[in-house]
Amino acid sequence: MAEVTYKLTPKDFKSDQEIRWCPGCGDHAILNSIQKAMAELELPREKVAVISGIGCSSRFPYYMNTYGFHTIHGRGAAIASGVKVANPELSVWQITGDGDAMAIGGNHFIHTIRRNIDINLILFNNEIYGLTKGQYSPTSPFGSVTKTSPYGTIEPPFHPGELVIGAQGKFFARTIDINIKLSTDIYIEAAKHKGTSVVEVLQNCVIYNDGAHAALVDKEEKDERTIVLKHGEPMIFGKNRDKGIILDGLKLKVVNLNDGKYTVNDLLLHDACEMNPGIHSMLANMRYPEFPVALGVIRSVTAPTYDDNMTNQIKQVKQSAKIKNMTDLLNTGNTWEIK
Amino acid sequence: MSKKAVTLEKDEVVIRFSGDSGDGMQLTGTQFSNTSALFGNDVSTFPDYPAEIRAPQGTVGGVSGFQLHFGASEINTPGDYADVLVAMNPAALKANLDWVKKGGTIIINIDAFTEKNIARAGYDSNPIALYKRDYNFIEAPITELTKEALAEFQLDQKSIMRTKNMFALGIVYWLFDRPLSYTEKFFEEKFKKIPIVVEANKRVLRAGFNFAETIEALPRNYKVAPAKINPGTYRNISGNTATAWGLIAGAEKSNLNLFCGSYPITPATEILQELAARRDLGVKTFQAEDEIAGISTAIGAAFAGNLAVTTTSGPGLALKTEASGLAVMTELPLVIVNVQRGGPSTGLPTKTEQSDLLQALHGRSGEAPLVVLAASTPSNCFNYAFMACKIALEHMTPVILLTDGFLANGSEPWRLPKMEELPAINVPMAKPNDTNYLPYLRDKETLVRKWAIPGMAGLEHRIGGLEKMDLTGTVSYVPKNHEVMTELRDQKIKKIADFIPELEILGDKDADLLVIGWGGTFGHIYSAVKQIQKENKKIAFIHFHYLWPLPKNTGEVLSKFKKKIVCELNLGQLADHLKVNVDGFTCEKYNKMQGQPFTVVELKDTFTKLLEEL
């Protein structure tokens, strides 16, 4: 049978379901970026499985014209792990939020990353519980006033990048929902990376936490407050490309390239492929206003994946195996005949 | 020739090996039972060990035991009371004396009966003097003679002491006139790379055998003839291994890959271990971070088209509750094995109980029916694990298979099935590019939906935990639709009754008394029933393997008998289940919650009394 090939477009990945997210929600832009990335990657639709847990973001699979599974709260990572290990040929995407992945699903999140299962884990971080209408999440900043913290939260938040690297993550990237170009590029990178690729999307909840990332999307100031990291390039940012990041002792430091003390040559070169996570961890942890917030692929190192290890182990064991089927197994060890 | 004083021909014998949990009693017991099975006896075994891996030495709490029952005729249980007890120290004697028949033989390691050990076991004075009249004690200086036997070996004290269980085994082998060859071969294979360990164990085993033969203190030995057993190839198998193998057989027969997502938990862990060893058959085991991830990875694998399994015990089943509801809602095939133990909570991890029946039947949010099966002997765990796979796949539903600690760790000889004799498994797989495919379009007869798996072109669809529209499977909050779907899910499971065997009445169909059991109590109940029949009294017995849906003739069978008694290791969960589902059902109950199986004696007494009251 001849294979029919045709160019995929983002539209091919849209399902017939009416999208139920609030108007103005950052999720719309994320959906568009991912559909764009999938079209550019030319992923056959039947080979794509989109798995989600519970939360606003987790409605995502219904809007994709691929295989999809809207599962239960926090368990998306475990279910996606099962899908990928059961059929390593699939392109598996997990859609999750800060509550789903960092709170109820925290255990599955870190262990999936530790195992390095080849899935693309897209973490929508709006620092709030939206579907339950406005309670603080594990990523809400200290002191956040929400429905369950009317006097402000009294617990420090998780920073997803730190957690990913702490769990031996091999791929961590950050983007902003409305930056479709950057997001699409990052999703493509994430999909190409073999292993668990975590993308933190700074996403705006227009109803319950509007403007959580306002400082970073402000048209005038965003270039001063964020830095887009590119592998092999110096860490330079600013509207006029006049600021950079250097290593000062064991810490990062923002420097001005206009005051004559530093040149581009003094700036750190971004090496996403460095195995040592030290600098990646510091980059992932840069926070406004002390630092620009790092966007782009912060860490991307190659390591064996769980699913490949599984496939290889089975292949290897089978090569020298004496037991080839159930009948062989039944007859192993001590058996005896009764006549 | 040996100087055997008196040889007693016995139809069946029960032996219990006991010692500190580090004394190797499980190994000793297994060796004896395998040797006897090879000799042609029917055998049933049951290990009884503490939850602590190494409880304080010499204390009653740290005693590990292994009981086996072998005979010249059909053996259904590991036996109630022991003819022979091996006690490696005073604590082992104290923990097990109640389980030895009056006049039985007790082999003790006299070297361990020091004042200190006697006190540690909680005895005020030397128990041998106390019980000498009631039992036949064989006082063997096992520690000393083991040391002597290995005097010329270059082994440290600890390694020498580890072989003393073989001395005890040697004595018992002589007592029952068993060959040493099986155990010798076992050591040759197990310690192939450490010849000195092989030689040491063989030397001590023989020393024990020779000791028994030489001393004149042994007043008797026993003869147990081989049993009349159906022809075929046999092996010994434990319930947990049989369960694992039944799952593998299900995968082979359905031509699917087997995926097991699990988390270690007593007494279910061996199933995961057994499956993990089967990479040669392509089995994928995923040791998950917790029980929830165990079932969740399995559900993911089911979505992706594998035969998916998760294994656990009571508290783990509780953790899997929410995800099992997702499997019900999405109508994916999934086998959940629950090896029951004493509960609630952590309960009695190493002891047996049947107290998860209602959890299995009802323990989910919402109306969430699924299939519940129960195995009844160590070896038929294979058949019911296989049936669980068959039903899950053919009816696109989660199935809970209940076994228990008694079945899981117990073992018996098993006639190997032929793969071609197992029933076919017809998986309702969708066909790629089927333009009529709808995720929730159902077969008219069975109400089963088709399984379309990622990778199949043209069938891309979304499923999830939200209520779905009939046929299309899209999210639906339509009130009437939810009612329709709730009823469809219920009916789909009830229809499975058309595909499972009917109840079989054992014993006398015209009896007035019907004994009712389920799961792992089969052997004990059946033995008691047979003993009563031998006394020319009429009694009938039914045993449930299918708990939901119930076999089609359940109501009809139950209505035939004047008096019914439901025997179970819980407060009466099957009795309650039958009362809810069978009109007018009333019964007596016999319940036990001691973490131990029934004894045949207690059941027989109970049934006899009921028969007298009739």
Q: Is the preceding omega at residue A23 within 30 degrees of 0, hence cis? A: no
- Is residue A94 within 8 Å of A121, Cβ to Cβ? yes
- Cross-chain residue pair B323–A75, CB shorter than 8 Å: yes
Nearest to A86 among B230, B289, B300 (CB): B300
Cα B392 to Cα B302, B343, B371, B440, B519: the distances in Å are 11, 27, 8, 17, 19
Taking CA–CA distances from A60, the nearest residue in chain B reads B462
pLDDT of residue B139: 93
pLDDT of residue A153: 98
Chain A hits for B460, Cβ within 8 Å: 45-46, 65-68
- Residue B248, chain A, CB below 8 Å: the answer is yes
- Tokens 């059961």, located at residue: A86
DSSP B380: T
The pLDDT of B491-510, averaged and rounded, is 98
- Is residue B345 within 8 Å of B315, Cβ to Cβ? yes
The pLDDT of A256-285, averaged and rounded, is 97
User: How confident is residue A6, by pLDDT bands cut at 50, 70 and 90?
Assistant: low
- Which range (A146-160, B37-51, B258-272, B495-509) has the least confidence? B37-51
Distant-in-sequence, close-in-space partners of B284: CB < 8 Å, separation ≥ 6: A85, A86, A310, A314, B257, B258, B259, B260, B301, B306
- Residue B462, chain A, CB below 8 Å: the answer is yes
Mean pLDDT for chain A overall: 96
What residues form DSSP beta bridges with B464?
A70
Chain A hits for B38, Cβ within 8 Å: 334, 336
- What's the token pair of residue B113? 């009966």
Taking CA–CA distances from A310, the nearest residue in chain B reads B284
Chain B hits for A339, Cβ within 8 Å: 231
pLDDT of residue B213: 87
The pLDDT of B305-330, averaged and rounded, is 98
- Cross-chain residue pair A329–B248, CB shorter than 8 Å: yes
Which residues, numbered 95 to 114 in chain A, qualify as contacts with chain B under a Cβ-Cβ cut-off of 8 Å? 107-108, 111
Cα B526 to Cα A300, B430, B518: the distances in Å are 64, 45, 11
Taking CA–CA distances from B298, the nearest residue in chain A reads A82
Helices (H), strands (E): how many in chain B? 22, 23
- Residue B454, chain A, CB below 8 Å: the answer is yes
- Residue B277, chain A, CB below 8 Å: the answer is no
- Cross-chain residue pair A325–B281, CB shorter than 8 Å: yes
> pLDDT at residue B504 above 70?
yes
pLDDT of residue B2: 42
Residue bearing the bigger pLDDT, B290 or B53: B290
d(CA A127, CA A102): 11
Chain B hits for A61, Cβ within 8 Å: 462, 464
- Cross-chain residue pair A67–B462, CB shorter than 8 Å: yes
- Cross-chain residue pair A83–B454, CB shorter than 8 Å: yes
* Kind of pairing between the strands at B334-340 and A335-338: unpaired
Q: Return the residue in B243, B247, B281 with the most chain A beta carbons within 10 A, the one to mutate for interface testing.
A: B281
| Percent of all residues in chain B with a pLDDT value above 70, rounded to a whole number | 97
| pLDDT tens per residue across span B428-478 | 999 999 999 999 999 999 999 999 999 999 999 999 999 999 999 999 999
Which residues, numbered 138 to 177 in chain A, qualify as contacts with chain B under a Cβ-Cβ cut-off of 8 Å? none
- Residue B465, chain A, CB below 8 Å: the answer is yes
- Cross-chain residue pair A71–B464, CB shorter than 8 Å: yes
* Kind of pairing between the strands at B371-374 and B398-404: parallel
- Residue A119, chain B, CB below 8 Å: the answer is no
For A227, the 3-state DSSP assignment is: strand
Chain A hits for B252, Cβ within 8 Å: 325-326
Nearest to B231 among A67, A68, A339 (CB): A339
pLDDT of residue A338: 83
- Cross-chain residue pair B460–A78, CB shorter than 8 Å: no
| Percent of all residues in chain A with a pLDDT value above 90, rounded to a whole number | 96
DSSP A101: I
For A236, the 3-state DSSP assignment is: strand
| pLDDT tens per residue across span B218-276 | 666 788 888 888 899 999 999 999 999 999 999 999 999 999 999 999 999 999 999 99
Domains of chain B and any CATH numbers: 6-223 (3.40.920.10), 235-421 (3.40.50.970), 506-613 (3.40.50.920)
pLDDT of residue B5: 56
- Cross-chain residue pair A17–B232, CB shorter than 8 Å: no
- Cross-chain residue pair B297–A81, CB shorter than 8 Å: yes
Instruction: Give the number of beta-carbon pairs within 8 Å between A and B.
Output: 204
For chain A, give the number of residues: 339
Residue A254's H or E segment, with its range, is strand A251-256
For A173, the 3-state DSSP assignment is: strand
- Residue A10, chain B, CB below 8 Å: the answer is no
> pLDDT at residue B167 above 60?
yes
- Cross-chain residue pair B288–A47, CB shorter than 8 Å: no
- Is residue B507 within 8 Å of B475, Cβ to Cβ? no
- Is residue A220 within 8 Å of A240, Cβ to Cβ? no
pLDDT of residue B223: 85
Mean pLDDT for chain B overall: 95
- Residue A303, chain B, CB below 8 Å: the answer is no
User: How confident is residue A2, by pLDDT bands cut at 50, 70 and 90?
Assistant: low
* Kind of pairing between the strands at B334-340 and B307-312: parallel
Which residues, numbered 57 to 86 in chain A, qualify as contacts with chain B under a Cβ-Cβ cut-off of 8 Å? 61-62, 64-72, 75, 78-86
Look at the pTM and tell me if it is higher than 0.80. Answer: yes
Taking CA–CA distances from B280, the nearest residue in chain A reads A318
- Is residue B610 within 8 Å of B566, Cβ to Cβ? no
- Residue B74, chain A, CB below 8 Å: the answer is no
The pLDDT of A111-118, averaged and rounded, is 98
Domains of chain A and any CATH numbers: 10-233+270-307 (3.40.50.970), 236-268 (no CATH)
Nearest to A83 among B303, B418, B463 (CB): B303
| pLDDT tens per residue across span A283-332 | 999 999 999 999 999 999 999 999 999 999 999 999 999 999 999 999 99
User: How confident is residue A196, by pLDDT bands cut at 50, 70 and 90?
Assistant: very high
pLDDT of residue B222: 80
Chain A hits for B298, Cβ within 8 Å: 82
d(CA A37, CA B609): 77
Nearest to B306 among A86, A333, A334 (CB): A86
> pLDDT at residue A1 above 60?
no
